Amino acid sequence: MAHRWYGLRSLSVETAGAGGEAGTYAHDVLAVVLRITGAVPSVLLWQRAREPQAGRWSLPGGRLGPDEDVEASVRRHLAEKVDLAEVAHVEQLGVFSDPHRGPAPRRIATAFLGLVPTDADPAVPDDTAWHRVDRLPETAFDHGAITRDGLDRLRAKLSYTNIGFALAPAEFTVSELRDLYAAALGHRVSATNLQRVLTRRGVLVPTGEIAASGPAGGRPAAVFRYSERGLRVTDPFAALRPPGEPG
Amino acid sequence: MAHRWYGLRSLSVETAGAGGEAGTYAHDVLAVVLRITGAVPSVLLWQRAREPQAGRWSLPGGRLGPDEDVEASVRRHLAEKVDLAEVAHVEQLGVFSDPHRGPAPRRIATAFLGLVPTDADPAVPDDTAWHRVDRLPETAFDHGAITRDGLDRLRAKLSYTNIGFALAPAEFTVSELRDLYAAALGHRVSATNLQRVLTRRGVLVPTGEIAASGPAGGRPAAVFRYSERGLRVTDPFAALRPPGEPG
DNA sequence: GTGGTTTTCGCCTATTGGTCGAAAACGTGG
DNA sequence: CCACGTTTTCGACCAATAGGCGAAAACCAC
C-alpha cells in the first residue's frame, strides 16, 4: 500500500548530507517579468556574481520562506529587484522539477509570469537589467526555457483575455496599443481590428479625450483605457455553451 | 542583496526538528483523476486509514522522489491506484503551497489533472473509489478545492481543445459523445452543433462504420473517432492573428 | 405497411473577425 | 491660405464560425 508516509512525522531520520533531510527539497520561486521595450518584449534578469554559473543571467526569485505561499514569496523576492507597485499582474506558470535542472542539491522551482506597463521604468539594482527576449544573454540553469514559457503564456492570453491592461499605460491611443500588441506578439497587428475587437468585447472604453497630435501631423487620436484592471477572460471562447445564452 | 543563498550548499545547519532541514519542504504530487460515470463526472479518491484526517477522502498521490520530476512522480504514484494505461491524459494544474494547507510539518503539492475514458473501468484497491463530483464525501486537507480546480480546467478545455479524446472511448456515436460532453459540462449540449463544430475543426472523423441501432429503434448512428490522441488546441482562438493567415 | 424513435442533414440567422478604401482631422510647405 | 502628406477613424463588404429549427433518412415494433 502506498501513502503510509502521509501523516508520519519522519519517514527517514538519516541526514542526506548538506541537501537537507531525505525527501525534502529547497523550493524556489522565480518570476519571468516582461515589459515591452521599443518593438520587442524584454525580461528582467540579474547577473550571477558567484558560482555556480557565475556571470550568467538569472530570473529574479529566491527561496520559499516557511510562512508564505509561493505567490507571497515571489512578490517578496521581486520587491528586491523592482518596485512591486509597478508590476501590474502576476500569475503562476508552473513547476519546474527536473532533478538535473541545476547542480546538487536539488531545487524545485515554481515559476510566475509578471508584467510591467511600458510607462513604468522601475529602477533596478546594479546587477539587474532588462534584456530583449530575441537576444537573451547566456542564462543560468533552465531560466531560458522558463522565459520562453512565460512569453508563450503572454502571447496566448493577449488574444483571449484583457491581459494587455498590465502592459499598457493607464491611457493610450489605439495606435500605441497596436504597437504594443505587435511587439508582444511578434507580428503586425491591424489597428482597425484591434479597436473593434477590444471595444466590442467591452475591454476597451474611450475616455472622451483627444490626444495631442503626433510629431508628424495627422489626425489626433482618441484616448482609450482598459475597462478593468484585473484579469478577465473575454473571448466567447466556448463553442458548446449552454443553450439559449448569448455568445 | 538577495540571492546569496543561491549556490551555497547549506545556509543553515540547524536541524528543524522532524520537519527536515530549515528551508526544505516535503514535496507531494496529487492527481485529480476524472472519469464520466453516468451523467456526472467522478473523481478517484482513497480513504485515509490513519491520522491525520483518518476517515476522510484524499486524492491519489505521494511524495516526490529524489530522481524523478513531478510528472514522472505522479505517474508512479497513480500506478498504485489505477492501471496507468487507462489514464489517457495527464497535465499539470499548479502548485498548492498555503503554509496551513495541512498539519505541520509543511508540505508543498503539485497537482495534476488525469482523465480516464468511460469505457475503461480500472480495478482499484479496497480503500479507493470513484465519487461523483456533485456529492463529494468529506475530503482531506485542501483536496476538495483542488478537485474543483481540476474540474474547472477540464470544462474550460473541452470547448477549445480536443481533450474529449481522453474521456471518450476509441469509437463512439455523436449521441454518446453529446451525453459525455453534457455530463462533463453540466448542461445540455446540441448533438447537431457538437458534430458540426468538432468535425469542422478536424478533431472528429467518421470511421465509415454504422453502429448497431439502439434498443428502442431509431436510425443507426455513424461511428466517429478522434483524429488525434494527444492534446491539441483547436479553437481559432486568436483574434489578432498574423495578417494573411487563415482563421 | 403504420407509427414511433433516433439520427442526420440542409437551410437560415447571428456574431465575430479580416480587408479595403473613403472620409476626417491634423501639420507643413509653398 | 491652400494643396499636400500623414495619421486616425469609420463604414462597407466578405469569410468563417456557431446556434436553431425542421425535414428527411433509417431503423424497430406492432
- pLDDT category at A217 given cuts 50, 70, 90 is confident
CB–CB contact B25 A25 (8 Å): yes
Q: Tell me which residue of B24, B99, B51 sits closest to A9, measured CA to CA.
A: B51
Distance CA B189, CA B192 (A): 9
Q: Tell me which residue of B141, B104, B111 sits closest to B34, measured CA to CA.
A: B111
Mean pLDDT along residues A75-98? 97
- Helix or strand (DSSP H, E) at A181: helix A174-185
A to B CB pairs, distance under 8 Å: 180
- Predicted pLDDT of residue B4: 34
Chain A residues with CB inside 8 Å of B15's CB? 15
Q: Decide: helix, strand or coil at residue B112.
A: strand
User: Could you read off the pLDDT of B108-149 as tens digits, one per residue?
Assistant: 999 999 999 999 988 899 999 999 999 999 999 999 999 999
Mean pLDDT, chain B, integer:
89
Q: Is the shortest CB-to-strand distance from B190 to strand D under 7 Å? A: yes
Chain A residues with CB inside 8 Å of B188's CB? 242-243
CB–CB contact A21 B24 (8 Å): yes
The rounded percent of chain A whose pLDDT value lies above 90 is 79
- Predicted pLDDT of residue A21: 67
- Predicted pLDDT of residue A212: 83
CA distance readout (Å), B80 to B43, B68, B89, B137: 16, 16, 17, 22
- Predicted pLDDT of residue B244: 66
Please provide the size of chain B in residues.
Answer: 247
Residue A244 has pLDDT above 90, yes or no: no
Mean pLDDT along residues A207-220? 84
Q: Which residue has the cell 540553469?
A: A141
Mean pLDDT along residues A84-105? 96
Question: Taking all atoms of strand C, which protein residues have CB closer than 7 Å?
Answer: A 190, 192-193, 196-197, 200-201, 210, 213, 217-220, 235-236, 246-247; B 173-175, 191-192, 195, 214, 216-222, 238-241, 243-244, 247
User: Could you read off the pLDDT of A69-82 as tens digits, one per residue?
Assistant: 999 999 999 999 99
- Predicted pLDDT of residue B246: 53
Q: For A2, which of B68, B80, B106 is closest by C-beta distance?
A: B80
- Predicted pLDDT of residue B217: 81
- Predicted pLDDT of residue A77: 98
- Taken in order of first residue, the domains within chain A and their CATH numbers are 24-158 (3.90.79.10), 161-226 (1.10.10.10)
Tell me how close the Cα of A120 comes to any Cα of chain B, in angstroms: 23
What values do phi and psi take at A70, rounded to 5?
A: -65, -35
User: Could you read off the pLDDT of B209-223 as tens digits, one per residue?
Assistant: 999 876 678 899 999
Chain C positions with any atom < 7 A from a protein CB: 3-10, 15-21, 23-28
All three cell numbers of A74, joined, read 515571489
CB–CB contact B58 A26 (8 Å): no
Contact between B112 and B143 (Cβ < 8 Å): no
The rounded percent of chain A whose pLDDT value lies above 70 is 88
Contact between B55 and B47 (Cβ < 8 Å): yes
- pLDDT category at A215 given cuts 50, 70, 90 is low
User: Could you read off the pLDDT of A19-35 as tens digits, one per residue?
Assistant: 456 789 999 999 999 99
Which residues are bridge partners to B115 per DSSP? B34, B89
- Select the more confidently predicted residue: B23 or A156: A156
Q: Which of B6, B71, B77 to mutate to test the interface with A (most CBs of A within 10 A)?
A: B6
Query: Which residue's CA lies closest to nucleotide D18 at its C1' atom?
Result: A239
Residues of chain B with pLDDT below 70 are: 1-21, 214-215, 236-237, 243-247
Residue A4 has pLDDT above 50, yes or no: no
- Predicted pLDDT of residue B242: 72
Residue A94 has pLDDT above 60, yes or no: yes
- Predicted pLDDT of residue A234: 85
List the A196 CA – C17 C1' distance (angstroms): 9
Chain A residues with CB inside 8 Å of B77's CB? 2
Tell me how close the Cα of B38 comes to any Cα of chain A, in angstroms: 20
Query: Which residue's CA lies closest to nucleotide C18 at its C1' atom?
Result: A193
Chain D positions with any atom < 7 A from a protein CB: 5-11, 16-22, 24-29
Tell me how close the Cα of A112 comes to any Cα of chain B, in angstroms: 11
- Predicted pLDDT of residue B19: 47
- Helix or strand (DSSP H, E) at A45: strand A40-47
